Amino acid sequence: MCNSSGSGNQTVTAQQLTTFPNIMMFLVITAIIGALVQGMAPKKLLRAIPQPILLLILYLLAGVIFRVAYPDTVDLAVRSIVDPVMIQTLFLPVLMCSELFRLNTRAFFIVLNQLLLLVGPGVLLGSVLTAIFPYVIMPSRPLFDFNTAMAFGGMLGTTDPIAVIICVNEMAAPKRLAALVGGESLLNDGTSIVLVTLFLQLQSGSELDAGTLVFFIFNQLLFSILFGIGMGILSLLFIRIVRNDSSTMTTFVVAVPFLTFLVANYWMGSSGVLSVIPLCIILNEYGRGLLIEVSFSVFWKHECSSTN
């Protein structure tokens, strides 16, 4: 139990905060704020400050205000409601798909060799340089041993995929540059996951032999991509089967990224993000024509029925 400031004798418990209505209210308010910022903010402001950065500033200001007004309740809410796993599962698949559908796939494959250099040796070098700061420069050696510092570097040595792609698209960058920057910000998640998970296991005292390490890397990187490719091929086949039913196809296109993310991330122990990427690229490259065809067919039928 904890007393919330300014609420008298009223008390708030973690169980009350984690009820389903409160969690849904948090998600609904977040979605509404994002829509209001996108729809009502001046266009000059959005051109100067991209929407993700503007939302971050608003949320930081709101957090400071509520932290000062209701310190105990905010602390309890952050620990109980703001679950990173829940937020990632609810928002990340659909955000990634919405932005990957805007990615120029031909430019993506043209710069693929450069992408592999950036997400491999590039991320590894950035993670090592980031890890040097807490391990060597900061006086925190008891808190940051080598393994912890490398996990810390792996987390901060990569860019945020959603924010980077949205910013690149809003700035109307050249297609090759957008594909290079956006693709790197998406693919570097695999390298980051391998580094963070590996060094956290070593920090906890686990001993990894060569076979276990090879299987871990294969499961996190190669198998995730292969699973996403398989889900993309199955999705194309399903779309062709139900192409005459627009509602079924729309429901499937919305649901399949969540299905791919959940199965890869929680049932197979692989990378959900790396599985969603090839799925959405395949749907973008080979399924976009079918989706446009169905959308045009539905629009044409609606116009004909309204005219008659």
Q: Which two tokens stand for residue 257?
A: 């990224």
pLDDT of residue 75: 64
pLDDT of residue 4: 42
Output the DSSP codes for 27-96: HHHHHHHHHHHHHHS-HHHHHHS-HHHHHHHHHHHHHHHHHHHSHHHHHHHHHHT--HHHHHHHHHHHHH
- pLDDT tens figures, 93-122: 887 787 777 777 788 888 888 888 888 888
CA distance linking residue 114 with residue 125, whole number of Å: 15
Query: What phi and psi, each to the nearest 5 degrees, are found at residue 3?
Result: -85, 130
Question: Quick one: how far is CA 122 from the chain centroid?
Answer: 21
Query: If you search the block for the tokens 């912890």, which residue do you land on?
Result: 148
CA distance linking residue 60 with residue 58, whole number of Å: 5
CA distance linking residue 151 with residue 168, whole number of Å: 28
Residue 227 has pLDDT above 90, yes or no: yes
Helix (H, G, I), strand (E, B) or coil at 136: helix
Number of residues assigned to the chain: 308
**Domain residues of the chain, as ranges?**
1-82, 85-207, 226-308
In terms of Cβ atoms closer than 10 Å to its own Cβ (0-12, 13-18, 19+), residue 95 is middle
Residue 254 has pLDDT above 80, yes or no: yes
pLDDT of residue 270: 82
Q: Which amino acid is it at 12?
A: V
Helix (H, G, I), strand (E, B) or coil at 206: coil
Query: What phi and psi, each to the nearest 5 degrees, are found at residue 138?
Result: -75, 140
pLDDT of residue 2: 44
Name the DSSP class of 301.
Answer: H
Q: pTM for the full model?
A: 0.69
| 188-214 per-residue burial string, b: 16 or more CB within 10 A, e: under 16 | bbbbbbbbbbbbbbbeeeeeeeeeeee
Residue 247 has pLDDT above 90, yes or no: no
CA distance linking residue 16 with residue 2, whole number of Å: 12
| 217-256 per-residue burial string, b: 16 or more CB within 10 A, e: under 16 | eebbbebbbebbbebbeebbebbeebeeebeebeebbeeb
Question: Quick one: how far is CA 152 from the chain centroid?
Answer: 19
- Whether 89 and 261 have beta carbons less than 8 Å apart is answered as yes
Q: Which two tokens stand for residue 104?
A: 């120029």
- pLDDT tens figures, 29-72: 777 887 887 778 787 777 777 777 787 788 888 878 877 877 77
CA distance linking residue 168 with residue 38, whole number of Å: 16
Helix (H, G, I), strand (E, B) or coil at 143: coil
Q: Which amino acid is it at 58?
A: L
- pLDDT tens figures, 258-279: 999 989 888 888 888 888 888 9
What stretches of the chain adopt beta strand conformation (E)? 2-3, 11-12
Q: Which two tokens stand for residue 287?
A: 């399924």
Per-residue confidence band for 21, with pLDDT thresholds at 50, 70 and 90 = low
